[in-house]
């Protein structure tokens, strides 16, 4: 679960290397010396706590950040009253920003009790210049601020903070670097995310991600496959391939490879039982990918295909580069080719200029596609995006009832769709103990739906056959087979 990078070859007396990742290995060792010195002065180990906001890519970034801290001599903690606290932030919606500001007030009170406490902020929110200026002006107790493009520099930046004794701010506007081969601490011993690309080129008019994550950069396929081989050798049976738009993987490589081709190569790795991926953009989902998903049993029967709106007029304003009929044709093709697939989506209510007729178009797609589940959102204005400057922002008193109607319809259909599998035998990867009943464990089916079955902690990480006995709407109750 913890990948440590050995750095016995480093000469700490000769100064930091210029090349990565050797430079960060050097600073990790220098930081370890500083941590050991502070630990001796306190008479106890230094603790470190990372709080993650946002998506699976942020969660994967946090595993790398925690790995660096562990190698530098910190002890991991879940307590925000730690010696080092790092918030890995999200900025997709404004309420994510407000949540961070609220938590910073709490950290300030903790730091007043422990002046030696170090507070750091990183991630997407820090890529917004207005946020950084606000932190520098109003949150002077924060010690370290960095963004999405240079998370691999945590050891170097924290070492600077320890030696310079002033706020360190290091934000990159963009990068073409991909720095791997750094320590990592996985949350689960049996499954792991694997970054296959970074950034996004789509520029949907409501989305700030391309501005804070940068342009698309694909990792070399052999680097990805080597990482998966190492994970399976360490007990991982399921990987999730991560990217803002995995369907466009490979376009920036010197020798381009399609995402479908990468999936085929990954499926050949011995010991790997399941492959998932997030997220797909409809405009790039190819017949080749559909065929690979259909024909390869290791690829999980789940596809997240964001719709956002069912109105072709609104989709054009969103810069989604497909219309309602194209999406419906694609969804029909996918369901025809892979009948047992679970199809999920994202839906936005209240985009600028959305009329009742536009909203009804969204309801129409939901009823025709019949999603297994959907993430529904009220449009959130993000400063710096084209949509934020659009006229006809829809008032909350109109948006909220629409949102409630959509959510009710999504839940009704999801409940009906889930019932179809009652009585089937399927394989579940047991991921954790049931939080409400200690006699049960919780597993995830290939189609990404959860099932609760009798079991104990010895089942964690195992793939077991289960009979689905009862549908609870968004999950199943089941019984295990011998």
pLDDT tens digits, one per residue of 103-154: 999 999 999 999 989 999 999 999 999 999 999 999 999 999 999 999 999 9
Report the half-sphere exposure of 284 (CA within 13 A, side-chain side).
Answer: 18
Residue 265 pLDDT: 98
Pairing of strands 274-278, 197-198: unpaired
Question: Would you say 366 and 406 are in contact if contact means Cβ atoms under 8 Å apart?
Answer: yes
What is the distance between the alpha carbons of residues 58 and 39, in angstroms, rounded to a whole number? 29
What is the distance between the alpha carbons of residues 10 and 3, in angstroms, rounded to a whole number? 18
Three-state secondary structure call for residue 438: coil
Query: For 315-347, what is each residue's pLDDT tens digit?
Result: 999 999 999 999 999 999 999 999 999 999 999
Name the band, by pLDDT with cuts 50, 70 and 90, for residue 3: low
Question: Would you say 124 and 90 are in contact if contact means Cβ atoms under 8 Å apart?
Answer: yes
What is the distance between the alpha carbons of residues 350 and 452, in angstroms, rounded to a whole number? 36
Residue 1 pLDDT: 60
Q: How many CB atoms within 10 Å of residue 461? A: 16
Q: Which residues contact 58 (CB under 8 A, 6 or more apart)?
A: 52, 88, 89, 90, 123, 124
Q: Evaluate if residue 258 carries a pLDDT over 60.
A: yes
Both tokens assigned to 31: 């930081």
Q: Evaluate if residue 371 carries a pLDDT over 90.
A: yes
Whether cis (ω within 30° of 0) applies to the bond prior to 279 is yes
Question: Would you say 196 and 275 are in contact if contact means Cβ atoms under 8 Å apart?
Answer: no
* Torsion of the alpha carbons at 281, 285, 289 and 293, rounded to the nearest 10: 60
**Quick one: DSSP state of residue 147?**
-
Summary mean pLDDT of the chain: 94
Three-state secondary structure call for residue 346: strand
**What DSSP letter does each residue of 391-410 carry, written as one string?**
S-PPPHHHHHHHHHHHHHHH
What element of type H or E holds 81?
A: none
Q: Evaluate if residue 11 carries a pLDDT over 90.
A: no
Cα Rg of the chain (Å, integer): 23
Q: 13-17, 74-78, 355-359: which has the minimum mean pLDDT?
A: 13-17
Residue 352 pLDDT: 98
Residue 417 pLDDT: 94
Question: Would you say 49 and 74 are in contact if contact means Cβ atoms under 8 Å apart?
Answer: no
pTM, to two decimals: 0.91
Query: For 289-302, what is each residue's pLDDT tens digit?
Result: 999 999 999 999 99
What is the distance between the alpha carbons of residues 393 and 197, in angstroms, rounded to a whole number? 34
Task: Please list the residues that pair with 471 across neighbouring strands.
Answer: 476
First to last CA, the chain: 29
Question: Would you say 467 and 473 are in contact if contact means Cβ atoms under 8 Å apart?
Answer: no
Q: What are phi and psi of 156, to 5 degrees?
A: -65, -45
| Average pLDDT of span 148-161 | 96
What is the distance between the alpha carbons of residues 442 and 463, in angstroms, rounded to a whole number? 12
Place of tokens 């049931």: 434
Residue (of 433, 430, 384, 374) closest to 406 by Cα position:
374
Both tokens assigned to 12: 């700490």
What is the distance between the alpha carbons of residues 167 and 145, in angstroms, rounded to a whole number? 8
Name the band, by pLDDT with cuts 50, 70 and 90, for residue 4: low
What is the distance between the alpha carbons of residues 305 and 301, in angstroms, rounded to a whole number? 13
């Amino acid at each position: 679960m913890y990948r440590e990078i050995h750095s016995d070859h480093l000469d700490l007396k000769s100064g930091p290397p210029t090349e990565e990742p050797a430079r960060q290995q050097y600073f990790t060792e220098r930081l370890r010396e500083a941590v050991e010195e502070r630990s001796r002065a306190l008479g106890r180990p230094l603790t470190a706590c990372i709080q993650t906001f946002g998506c699976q890519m942020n969660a994967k970034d946090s595993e790398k950040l925690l790995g660096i801290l562990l190698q530098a001599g910190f002890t991991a903690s879940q307590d925000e009253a730690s010696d080092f606290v790092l918030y890995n932030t999200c900025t997709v919606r404004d309420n994510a920003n407000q949540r961070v500001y609220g938590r910073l007030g709490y950290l300030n009170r903790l730091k007043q009790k422990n002046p030696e406490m170090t507070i750091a902020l990183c991630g997407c929110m820090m890529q917004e210049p207005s946020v950084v200026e606000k932190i520098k002006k109003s949150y002077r107790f924060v010690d370290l601020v960095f963004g999405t493009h240079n998370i691999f520099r945590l050891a170097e930046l924290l070492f600077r903070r320890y030696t310079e004794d002033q706020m360190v701010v290091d934000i990159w506007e963009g990068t073409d670097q991909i720095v791997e081969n750094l320590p990592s601490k996985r949350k689960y011993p049996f499954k792991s995310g694997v970054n296959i690309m970074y950034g996004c080129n789509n520029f949907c008019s409501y989305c700030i991600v391309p501005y804070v994550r940068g342009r698309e950069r694909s990792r070399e396929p052999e680097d990805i496959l080597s990482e998966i081989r190492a994970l399976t050798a360490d007990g991982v049976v399921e990987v999730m391939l991560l990217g803002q738009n995995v369907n466009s993987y490979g376009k920036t490589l010197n020798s381009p490879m399609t995402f479908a081709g990468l999936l085929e190569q990954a499926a050949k790795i011995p010991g790997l039982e399941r492959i998932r991926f997030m997220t797909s953009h409809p405009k790039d989902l190819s017949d080749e990918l559909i065929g690979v998903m259909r024909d390869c049993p290791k690829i999980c029967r789940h596809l997240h295909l964001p719709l956002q709106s069912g109105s072709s007029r609104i989709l054009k304003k969103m810069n989604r580069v497909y219309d309602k009929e194209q999406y419906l044709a694609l969804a029909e093709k996918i369901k025809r080719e892979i009948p047992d697939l679970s199809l999920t989506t994202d839906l936005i209510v209240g985009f600028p200029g959305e009329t009742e007729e536009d909203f009804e178009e969204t309801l129409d797609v939901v009823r025709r596609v019949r999603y297994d589940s959907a993430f529904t959102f009220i449009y959130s204005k993000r400063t710096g995006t084209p949509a934020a400057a659009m006229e006809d922002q829809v008032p909350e008193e109109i948006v909220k009832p629409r949102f409630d109607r959509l959510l009710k319809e999504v839940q009704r259909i999801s409940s009906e769709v889930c019932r179809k599998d009652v009585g089937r035998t399927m394989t579940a990867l047991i991921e954790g103990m049931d939080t409400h009943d200690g006699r049960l464990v919780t597993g995830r089916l290939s189609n990404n739906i959860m099932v609760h079955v009798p079991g104990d902690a010895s089942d964690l990480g195992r793939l077991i056959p289960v009979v689905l006995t009862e549908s609870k709407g968004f999950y199943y109750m089941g019984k295990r087979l011998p």
